[in-house]
Chains A and B, each alone.
Chain A
Amino acid sequence: MTRLPLAARVRRTMVRVGDMLLRRRRDAELDEEIAAHLDLAAADRQADGISAEEARLAARRAFGSVLQTKEACRERRGLPLFDVLMLEARFGLRGLWKSRIFATIAILTLALAIGANAAIFSVIDAALIRPLPYHDAGRLALVQSEYRSTNGRGGWGYEFPASVLAELTQKLHTVKNLAYYTTTVYALAATPGAELVHASNVSGNFFSTLEGNLVAGRFLGPSDRLQPVVVISTRLARRLFRTPAAAVGAQLTLTSHQYVVAGVAAQSFAFPSRDIDIWMPAAYADTVRVRPGRSTFRPIVRLEDGVPLERARADIRAAVSAVVSAHPEAFGSREVETSVVALRERLDGRLRPSLMILWATVGLVLLIACANLATLLLARKTARSHETSVRVALGASLGRLMTRDFIEAGFLSIAGTTIGLVCAQLAILVCRRLAPENMPWLGHLALDRPVIIFAAGLGLLTIIGVGTLPALESFSANPNRHIAGNSTRSGRQMRRFLCVAEFAAAVVLLVAASLLMRSLVGLLRTDIGVRTENVTTASLDLELTQRPFNAQTTELATNVLSRIRAIPGVRAAGAGSSLPPDRSHINMAVAGKEGTIGFSASVVVATPGYFQALGIRLREGRLFSTDDDARHPMVMIMGSTTARRYFGPGNPIGREASFPMPPVPGRPKGYVSMRLVGIVSDVKYAGLATSPPNQIYRPLAQQPWPALFLAVRTDRALGGFSSTLRRAVAFVDPSLVLSSITPMDRIISSDVNPYRFRTVFLAAFAGLALAIAAIGLFGIMAFSVAQRTTEIGIRMALGARTADVMRMVLREGILVGTGGAVLGLAAAGAMSRLIGSLLFGVSPNDPLSFVVAATVLLGVALAASYIPARRAALVDPVAALRSE
């Protein structure tokens, strides 16, 4: 016959599929048709005058084999390969159903491993893979410059005046757009009082450079430069106006100026940061500032199409250097450090190491689960060797045997993946619920298509990984084998080896988990230098009231504090420009006097009461008093390490030193000579995991500073304290903005959150890995005991005692455990440096962590072998021997 057209072939396949589904009916039809044929043939012959019986036989003869005909038709009809698969699948399913416990364990292990992988992948997808919500975001880059500000008096600048940026734009060749922005805060008039909102003042081309998403209204353009218009966040729009659409055209009062809402940015628009609620034209914002013309900005650029980041980097660096050199009046020197960082990299940088480690961890867990499954399947295969031998003897092809192995692995994997995805969804829901405020992206996790595809891919890999070993075993399937003996030595070795590998991998995770756990404990126990219990903090921004900032401003703070001190239950109250662990308004670097070594310190402006409220201990001298004001000599207090570092050994109280101080109205910027009046214990102002920076405290009255943190210590936790505080502040001046009222404890714990997050995850995964490995060991031990029942029976008949038998079995388990521990510790030793950057106060080679991991592992190995050992010990020698 000629080659069939495609349509006919498609038709044939479809008919075949249809036939397959209608198998019963088609079979019946065929039976009937053949019966009719035979009847007709017989009747025909009978007409020729032969007896009915003979006619029937003749008809049968002429027809040939009925059975063969039927089989031939049947073969034509269905999909033969599919039939074989279905048959083997039914076989496999029945086999798994018969060993339900095995199947359940296998599926659950796989489900946990794949679920963990899917969950972590969803985190990675949300944090690192999902494209940024800006058009062609790969072309966006941040220009981060650091230059020495004015005349080498110390201090660094990171932002540029708009005029300089305009000049910079002219000099760039590789950049399509240069936009700029800065962040600030405004007092948003609300009823009652005012609240603080984070805002960004942006250049006219800011939105057209980023090309982000809008949910209502319009973005700002160059024509809005001098208009009182703003774009607000979806969050703020919902809070103030219920819906984004309702917000467009509405009026807002920000720090006593009126603005019209032009548009509402999508939730995904989170630049420069997630907490921005207002975007305002920079030029207009500058005109309403207390001191106009002083605004400075950071650039963000969109690269020209096709320009690689490397080339743009060189271009931008050269241009920045040229501009800085051309403006000696604005920049202290020609030194400038410029880095050009892809936007994505900036946003990911902090998260990437933790996530990569978690990913590696869950990958390892999956490997362990696969090894485990392979072990169990191999063991099953051995147990089934009798059946296999029979099938081989009856002519089953190697292909059919291997099909069976892969089908079994396939069932387990599909079930495992499905349940795993359910687990992942649960994990994601938990994560979303528990997402701490400072890790908001956790709230955006979703089991979306990429995650499901990823999990399905893993499932497929699992089938291959898990099915291969047992399938390879099929090669050695030999009808004679089961006569010769039960399990081959090589099979047992292979299973033991896999188990050792599982334990080794589990040890690596255990070591990592205990290192992180020790870091977390260290972090939680770390002395930040303050006593946090019953301390409430808040932010008080005096400048937001639009009063000219001067010495009277400090009086306002003093009044607020004395009002607060009058609240019953308040033991101490103070204000300062910094708040541990890392909230700080002045991170001013201080260069040493000429001739001395460079010396940088945090300057903390503090009122009397600040130290008492935070519980900062006085070591020497005295704390600030109300007398330390502008009319009295300049004084300072130092942290104890700072004092020792600067003045050397001996009592430095009463000594003078001069440091550059931030400018104060009525006093030029520059060095101020101050007398050291007190030394206090060190406080961590640069973050929990960082050692305390040098610290110099100055009285607020001598060093006015508008943005302050309040700290209030009470006798006990007071209910409704935040509204009490608000009332006290409003009583002094209703236009004062008090924000972020937070218990100190909460600040610390939210700072610990990222550490806690990765520690909890890693510990959970290490536990999971260990559990899976233990299940594996239990499985092979139980199996090996079952296999050796006869041998054990003989041993006991020959006089072995229960204890001997138990020892024999336990020895095998311990051997596997020890092997795993040794291998794993070696691997952990080689790899623990990789997580060095995530550790705090623990060396990557911390012996305790290693010992703990090894001990836990051996304990688990012993426990996993105990039950099989008991079972072995309970073998009845008579029954065991008789069964042979």
Chain B
Amino acid sequence: MPDKADVLYGTLALMILRTLDVLGPLHGYALARRIEQISHDQLSLNQGTLYPALTKLQQLGLIAGKWGESETGRRAKFYTITRAGRKQLQAELENWSRASGIVARFIEDLS
């Protein structure tokens, strides 16, 4: 198994926003699991690192947290993306696809 990639700086927020946007409200653990699953376990994510990122996004008003009950009946905090979060996500995605497009062209054109 190749080395797992470190989470690129700043991309964790994007992943969180995107995940919440697509899957709706999730608690911290579910969020961590989804991100791992989507990256096919290729990302080395200390699940704990999620929380500072969640704190920050919450402060910025991009996501909102609310206590609820998990499917197993455990009390947990569920996060949802806010309207500001969607807007931010849109901007970030555009940025990201532009940047990755440029990088992709470099890789293809110069090979």
Contact = CB atoms under 8 A, between A and B. Distances in A.
Nearest to B70: A40
B55 A11 contact: no
B2 interface: no
B29 A64 contact: no
A29 B10 CA distance: 25
B47 A37 contact: yes
A798 interface: no
A440 to B, nearest CB: 60
Given A39-B74, A40-B27, A64 B60 contact: no
A73 B52 contact: yes
Interface in A11-41: 11-12, 15-16, 19, 29-30, 32-34, 36-37, 39-41
A81 interface: no
A11 B47 contact: no
B111 interface: no
Contacts of B29: 36-37, 40-41, 44
Contact of A12 (B10, B59, B70): B59
A2 interface: yes
B21 interface: no
Contacts of B46: 62-65
Interface in A54-92: 62-66, 68-69, 72-73, 75-77
Interface in B45-93: 46-49, 51-52, 55-56, 58-61, 70, 72, 74-77, 84, 91-92
Contact of A2 (B32, B72, B75, B95): B95
A531 to B, nearest CB: 86
A32 B49 CA distance: 16
A76 B55 contact: yes
A36 B55 contact: no
A287 to B, nearest CB: 82
A34 B51 contact: yes
B91 A2 contact: yes
A76 B27 CA distance: 20
Contacts of A137: none
B51 A44 contact: no
Contact of A43 (B10, B48, B74): B74
A831 to B, nearest CB: 60
A83 to B, nearest CB: 16
Nearest to B58: A15
Contacts of A29: 77
Nearest to B94: A2
Q: DSSP class of B's interface residues: helix, strand, loop or mixed?
A: helix
A163 to B, nearest CB: 81
A77 B55 contact: yes
Contacts of A72: 49, 51-52
A36 B60 contact: no
Contacts of B74: 36, 39-40, 43
A37 B46 CA distance: 13
B47 A64 contact: yes
Interface size band for A:
20 to 34
A1 B13 CA distance: 8
A69 B92 contact: no
Contact of A40 (B10, B52, B72, B84): B72
Contacts of B91: 2
B47 A63 contact: yes
Nearest to B76: A36
A73 B51 contact: yes
A4 interface: yes
Q: DSSP class of A's interface residues: helix, strand, loop or mixed?
A: helix
Contacts of B28: 33, 36-37
Contacts of A77: 55, 59
B48 A63 contact: yes
Nearest to A26: B55
A394 to B, nearest CB: 26
Contact of B48 (A8, A16, A66): A66
B104 interface: no
A2 B92 contact: yes
A52 to B, nearest CB: 14
> Which among A30, A44, A65, A69 has the greatest number of chain B C-beta atoms within 10 A?
A69
Contacts of A2: 91-92, 95
B48 A65 contact: yes
B30 interface: yes
Nearest to B95: A2
B27 to A, nearest CB: 7
Contacts of A76: 52, 55-56, 59
A69 B61 CA distance: 21
Given A37-B29, A41-B47, A11 B52 contact: no
A773 B43 CA distance: 70
Contacts of A62: 46-47
A509 to B, nearest CB: 57
A73 B48 CA distance: 10
Contacts of A30: 51
> Which among B46, B59, B76 has the greatest number of chain A C-beta atoms within 10 A?
B59
Interface string B86-111: 00000110010000000000000000
A330 to B, nearest CB: 86
B28 to A, nearest CB: 5
Contacts of A11: 59-61
B77 A33 contact: yes
A44 B92 CA distance: 32
Contacts of A73: 51-52, 55
A34 B51 CA distance: 9
B81 to A, nearest CB: 15
Interface in B1-53: 10, 13, 27-30, 32-33, 46-49, 51-52
A68 B60 contact: no
B34 to A, nearest CB: 12
A7 to B, nearest CB: 9
A44 B75 contact: no
Contacts of B76: 33, 36-37, 40
Contacts of B47: 37, 41, 62-64
Contacts of B70: 36, 40
A66 B75 CA distance: 19
A315 to B, nearest CB: 69
A550 B74 CA distance: 116
Contacts of B10: 1
Interface in A542-591: none
B87 to A, nearest CB: 10
A448 to B, nearest CB: 43
> Which among B30, B55, B84, B91 has the greatest number of chain A C-beta atoms within 10 A?
B55
A16 B56 CA distance: 10
A11 B60 CA distance: 7
Nearest to B73: A43
B20 to A, nearest CB: 16
Nearest to A76: B55
B45 to A, nearest CB: 9
> Which among A19, A39, A40, A44 has the greatest number of chain B C-beta atoms within 10 A?
A40
A557 to B, nearest CB: 92
A73 B55 CA distance: 6
Contact of A69 (B52, B59, B77): B52
Interface in A70-127: 72-73, 75-77
14 contacts: A15-B58, A16-B59, A19-B59, A34-B48, A36-B70, A37-B28, A39-B74, A40-B27, A40-B72, A40-B76, A63-B46, A69-B48, A72-B52, A77-B55
Given A36-B29, A40-B70, A63-B47, 12 more contacts: A8-B60, A11-B59, A33-B51, A36-B27, A37-B32, A39-B74, A40-B72, A41-B29, A44-B29, A63-B48, A69-B48, A69-B49
Interface of B: 10, 13, 27-30, 32-33, 46-49, 51-52, 55-56, 58-61, 70, 72, 74-77, 84, 91-92, 95
Query: Which 3 residue pairs spanning A and B have beta carbons closest together?
Result: A64-B46, A69-B48, A64-B48
Interface of A: 1-2, 4, 8, 11-12, 15-16, 19, 29-30, 32-34, 36-37, 39-41, 43-44, 62-66, 68-69, 72-73, 75-77
